[in-house]
Amino acid sequence: RKEVEQDPGPFNVPEGATVAFNCTYSNSASQSFFWYRQDCRKEPKLLMSVYSSGNEDGRFTAQLNRASQYISLLIRDSKLSDSATYLCVVNLVGSARQLTFGSGTQLTVLP
Amino acid sequence: EAGVAQSPRYKIIEKRQSVAFWCNPISGHATLYWYQQILGQGPKLLIQFQNNGVVDDSQLPKDRFSAERLKGVDSTLKIQPAKLEDSAVYLCASSLDLDRSSYEQYFGPGTRLTVT
Protein backbone atom coordinates (compact mmCIF):
# COMPACT_ATOMS: atom_id res chain seq x y z
CA ARG A 1 0.00 0.00 0.00
CA LYS A 2 1.30 3.45 -0.92
CA GLU A 3 2.03 5.81 1.96
CA VAL A 4 0.01 8.59 0.34
CA GLU A 5 -2.74 7.78 -2.16
CA GLN A 6 -4.57 10.12 -4.47
CA ASP A 7 -7.03 9.73 -7.31
CA PRO A 8 -4.84 10.58 -10.33
CA GLY A 9 -7.74 12.03 -12.29
CA PRO A 10 -7.75 13.74 -14.66
CA PHE A 11 -10.47 16.04 -13.45
CA ASN A 12 -11.83 18.20 -16.27
CA VAL A 13 -14.17 20.89 -14.98
CA PRO A 14 -15.68 24.07 -16.46
CA GLU A 15 -14.67 27.49 -15.22
CA GLY A 16 -16.60 28.45 -12.11
CA ALA A 17 -17.10 24.88 -10.96
CA THR A 18 -16.31 23.56 -7.51
CA VAL A 19 -13.97 20.57 -7.41
CA ALA A 20 -12.73 18.44 -4.54
CA PHE A 21 -9.68 16.22 -4.27
CA ASN A 22 -9.16 13.52 -1.70
CA CYS A 23 -6.09 11.89 -0.29
CA THR A 24 -5.49 9.09 2.20
CA TYR A 25 -2.33 8.32 4.10
CA SER A 26 -1.32 5.01 5.63
CA ASN A 27 0.85 5.97 8.60
CA SER A 28 -1.14 7.10 11.62
CA ALA A 29 2.04 8.70 12.99
CA SER A 30 1.89 11.31 10.24
CA GLN A 31 2.27 14.72 11.78
CA SER A 32 1.92 17.48 9.22
CA PHE A 33 0.01 17.74 5.99
CA PHE A 34 0.22 19.94 2.94
CA TRP A 35 -1.05 20.49 -0.56
CA TYR A 36 1.55 21.37 -3.18
CA ARG A 37 0.75 22.52 -6.69
CA GLN A 38 2.80 21.50 -9.72
CA ASP A 39 2.25 23.12 -13.10
CA CYS A 40 3.11 21.15 -16.22
CA ARG A 41 6.88 20.72 -16.53
CA LYS A 42 7.48 22.98 -13.53
CA GLU A 43 8.58 22.42 -9.96
CA PRO A 44 6.17 21.80 -7.06
CA LYS A 45 5.19 24.81 -4.95
CA LEU A 46 3.46 24.91 -1.57
CA LEU A 47 -0.22 25.72 -1.97
CA MET A 48 -1.29 25.44 1.65
CA SER A 49 -0.76 23.61 4.89
CA VAL A 50 -3.61 21.50 6.29
CA TYR A 51 -4.59 21.95 9.91
CA SER A 52 -6.79 19.75 12.10
CA SER A 53 -9.36 22.51 12.41
CA GLY A 54 -9.51 22.97 8.66
CA ASN A 55 -8.27 26.07 6.93
CA GLU A 56 -9.22 28.33 4.08
CA ASP A 57 -7.21 30.51 1.74
CA GLY A 58 -9.41 32.41 -0.64
CA ARG A 59 -11.11 29.92 -2.94
CA PHE A 60 -9.18 26.98 -1.44
CA THR A 61 -10.27 25.00 1.61
CA ALA A 62 -8.29 22.15 3.14
CA GLN A 63 -9.62 19.61 5.63
CA LEU A 64 -7.96 16.92 7.71
CA ASN A 65 -9.62 13.89 9.31
CA ARG A 66 -7.04 12.15 11.47
CA ALA A 67 -9.39 9.36 12.50
CA SER A 68 -9.96 8.36 8.87
CA GLN A 69 -6.43 9.36 7.78
CA TYR A 70 -7.95 11.48 5.07
CA ILE A 71 -7.14 14.90 3.64
CA SER A 72 -9.17 16.96 1.20
CA LEU A 73 -8.80 20.07 -0.92
CA LEU A 74 -11.79 22.02 -2.19
CA ILE A 75 -11.47 24.61 -4.93
CA ARG A 76 -14.41 26.93 -5.44
CA ASP A 77 -15.09 29.07 -8.51
CA SER A 78 -12.37 27.34 -10.56
CA LYS A 79 -10.21 29.50 -12.78
CA LEU A 80 -8.32 28.51 -15.92
CA SER A 81 -5.13 29.25 -13.97
CA ASP A 82 -6.00 26.52 -11.45
CA SER A 83 -5.13 23.90 -14.07
CA ALA A 84 -2.25 21.94 -12.56
CA THR A 85 -1.40 18.77 -10.67
CA TYR A 86 -2.20 18.89 -6.96
CA LEU A 87 0.12 16.87 -4.74
CA CYS A 88 -0.92 15.64 -1.31
CA VAL A 89 2.07 15.70 1.04
CA VAL A 90 2.63 14.20 4.46
CA ASN A 91 5.36 14.51 7.08
CA LEU A 92 5.98 11.74 9.60
CA VAL A 93 6.79 12.31 13.25
CA GLY A 94 10.52 12.17 13.79
CA SER A 95 11.33 12.06 10.09
CA ALA A 96 13.47 15.19 10.16
CA ARG A 97 11.03 17.24 8.13
CA GLN A 98 11.02 14.82 5.24
CA LEU A 99 7.98 15.04 3.03
CA THR A 100 6.25 12.08 1.39
CA PHE A 101 4.40 13.03 -1.78
CA GLY A 102 1.37 11.43 -3.35
CA SER A 103 1.35 10.89 -7.10
CA GLY A 104 -0.86 13.90 -7.65
CA THR A 105 -4.29 14.66 -9.06
CA GLN A 106 -4.42 16.38 -12.42
CA LEU A 107 -6.93 19.20 -12.83
CA THR A 108 -7.86 20.90 -16.09
CA VAL A 109 -10.25 23.83 -15.93
CA LEU A 110 -12.01 24.31 -19.26
CA PRO A 111 -13.26 27.63 -20.67
CA GLU B 1 15.22 36.74 -3.57
CA ALA B 2 16.92 34.23 -5.84
CA GLY B 3 15.39 30.77 -5.89
CA VAL B 4 16.98 27.35 -5.99
CA ALA B 5 19.25 27.06 -9.02
CA GLN B 6 19.89 23.81 -10.87
CA SER B 7 21.92 22.86 -13.89
CA PRO B 8 21.80 21.50 -16.45
CA ARG B 9 18.08 21.78 -17.22
CA TYR B 10 18.15 18.87 -19.66
CA LYS B 11 20.50 15.96 -20.21
CA ILE B 12 20.40 13.04 -22.60
CA ILE B 13 22.87 10.20 -22.08
CA GLU B 14 23.24 6.57 -23.07
CA LYS B 15 22.89 3.81 -20.54
CA ARG B 16 26.07 3.01 -18.62
CA GLN B 17 27.31 6.59 -19.00
CA SER B 18 27.81 8.94 -16.06
CA VAL B 19 26.03 12.19 -15.33
CA ALA B 20 26.21 14.90 -12.66
CA PHE B 21 23.68 17.48 -11.55
CA TRP B 22 24.36 20.67 -9.65
CA CYS B 23 22.19 22.56 -7.18
CA ASN B 24 22.60 25.88 -5.40
CA PRO B 25 19.97 26.36 -2.66
CA ILE B 26 18.42 29.58 -1.46
CA SER B 27 20.92 31.61 0.52
CA GLY B 28 20.72 30.80 4.21
CA HIS B 29 18.86 27.52 3.80
CA ALA B 30 20.68 24.90 5.81
CA THR B 31 18.70 21.89 4.58
CA LEU B 32 18.99 20.60 1.03
CA TYR B 33 17.08 17.72 -0.57
CA TRP B 34 17.42 15.79 -3.80
CA TYR B 35 14.30 14.17 -5.22
CA GLN B 36 13.64 11.92 -8.19
CA GLN B 37 10.33 12.44 -10.00
CA ILE B 38 9.36 9.82 -12.54
CA LEU B 39 6.65 10.79 -15.02
CA GLY B 40 3.20 10.43 -13.47
CA GLN B 41 4.50 10.10 -9.93
CA GLY B 42 5.20 12.44 -7.05
CA PRO B 43 8.74 13.41 -6.07
CA LYS B 44 10.62 10.71 -4.15
CA LEU B 45 13.29 11.76 -1.68
CA LEU B 46 16.77 10.48 -2.49
CA ILE B 47 18.92 12.26 0.07
CA GLN B 48 18.68 15.03 2.65
CA PHE B 49 21.55 17.20 3.89
CA GLN B 50 21.72 19.60 6.78
CA ASN B 51 24.64 21.90 6.16
CA ASN B 52 27.32 19.51 4.89
CA GLY B 53 26.07 16.44 6.77
CA VAL B 54 23.78 13.71 5.51
CA VAL B 55 20.52 13.47 7.47
CA ASP B 56 19.01 10.60 5.48
CA ASP B 57 20.15 8.71 2.40
CA SER B 58 18.14 5.55 2.98
CA GLN B 59 16.40 5.78 -0.41
CA LEU B 60 19.51 6.58 -2.42
CA PRO B 61 20.62 3.65 -4.63
CA LYS B 62 24.17 3.81 -3.40
CA ASP B 63 25.52 1.32 -5.91
CA ARG B 64 25.13 3.94 -8.62
CA PHE B 65 24.08 7.24 -7.04
CA SER B 66 26.22 9.55 -4.93
CA ALA B 67 25.76 13.07 -3.62
CA GLU B 68 27.84 15.56 -1.75
CA ARG B 69 27.52 18.99 -0.22
CA LEU B 70 31.09 19.66 0.79
CA LYS B 71 30.91 23.27 1.96
CA GLY B 72 27.34 23.20 3.18
CA VAL B 73 26.06 25.31 0.30
CA ASP B 74 25.80 23.88 -3.21
CA SER B 75 25.48 20.19 -3.91
CA THR B 76 26.08 17.69 -6.69
CA LEU B 77 24.25 14.46 -7.43
CA LYS B 78 25.97 11.87 -9.61
CA ILE B 79 24.77 8.73 -11.34
CA GLN B 80 27.34 6.21 -12.48
CA PRO B 81 26.51 4.13 -14.46
CA ALA B 82 23.06 5.25 -15.58
CA LYS B 83 20.25 2.82 -16.31
CA LEU B 84 17.17 3.30 -18.46
CA GLU B 85 14.97 3.46 -15.34
CA ASP B 86 16.90 6.52 -14.12
CA SER B 87 15.07 8.62 -16.72
CA ALA B 88 13.27 11.19 -14.58
CA VAL B 89 13.32 14.78 -13.38
CA TYR B 90 15.81 15.36 -10.59
CA LEU B 91 14.60 18.09 -8.28
CA CYS B 92 16.63 19.92 -5.70
CA ALA B 93 14.87 21.64 -2.83
CA SER B 94 15.94 23.65 0.18
CA SER B 95 14.39 24.73 3.44
CA LEU B 96 15.28 26.70 6.52
CA ASP B 97 17.11 25.03 9.38
CA LEU B 98 15.57 21.88 10.85
CA ASP B 99 14.95 23.68 14.12
CA ARG B 100 12.68 26.25 12.53
CA SER B 101 8.95 25.73 12.47
CA SER B 102 8.46 26.01 8.72
CA TYR B 103 8.19 22.85 6.69
CA GLU B 104 8.04 24.64 3.38
CA GLN B 105 10.48 23.35 0.83
CA TYR B 106 11.45 25.48 -2.13
CA PHE B 107 12.15 23.56 -5.30
CA GLY B 108 14.45 24.31 -8.17
CA PRO B 109 13.32 23.91 -11.81
CA GLY B 110 14.79 20.41 -11.99
CA THR B 111 17.03 18.55 -14.41
CA ARG B 112 15.21 16.38 -16.92
CA LEU B 113 17.33 13.28 -17.55
CA THR B 114 16.72 10.93 -20.45
CA VAL B 115 18.70 7.71 -20.57
CA THR B 116 18.66 5.96 -23.96
B-interface mutation test, from A49, A93, A97, A103, most B Cβ less than 10 A away: A97
Full DSSP string of chain B: ----EEE-SEEEE-TT--EEEEEE--TT--EEEEEEE-TTS--EEEEEEETTEEEE-TTS-TTTEEEE-TTSS-EEEEESS--GGG-EEEEEEEES-TTSS----EE---EEEEE-
* Distance from the B107 Cα atom to the nearest Cα atom in chain A, whole angstroms: 6
Give me the sheet containing B5-7, strands edge to edge.
B5-7, B19-24, B75-79, B65-68
Please check whether residue B25 touches A, CB under 8 A: no
What is the pLDDT confidence band of residue A93, given thresholds at 50, 70 and 90? low
Report the candidate in B20, B3, B26 with the shortest Cα–Cα distance to residue B66.
B20
Mutate to test the interface with A, among B47, B107, B113 (most CBs of A within 10 A): B107
Tell me whether A4 touches chain B (CB under 8 Å).
yes
Q: Residue B92 — pLDDT band, cuts 50, 70, 90?
A: very high
CB contact under 8 A, B108 and A43: yes
Share of chain B above pLDDT 90, in %: 80
Q: Which residues of B touch A34 (CB under 8 A)?
A: 103
Give per-residue pLDDT as tens, B18-57. Answer: 999 999 999 989 899 999 999 999 999 999 998 889 999 9
pLDDT (mean) for A91-110: 85
- Taking contacts as CB-CB distances below 8 angstroms, the residues of chain A near B43 are 44, 87, 101
Set of chain A residues whose Cβ sits within 8 Å of the Cβ of B50: 96
Mean pLDDT across B51-76: 93
> Does A102 contact chain B (CB < 8 Å)?
yes
Question: Mean pLDDT in chain B?
Answer: 93
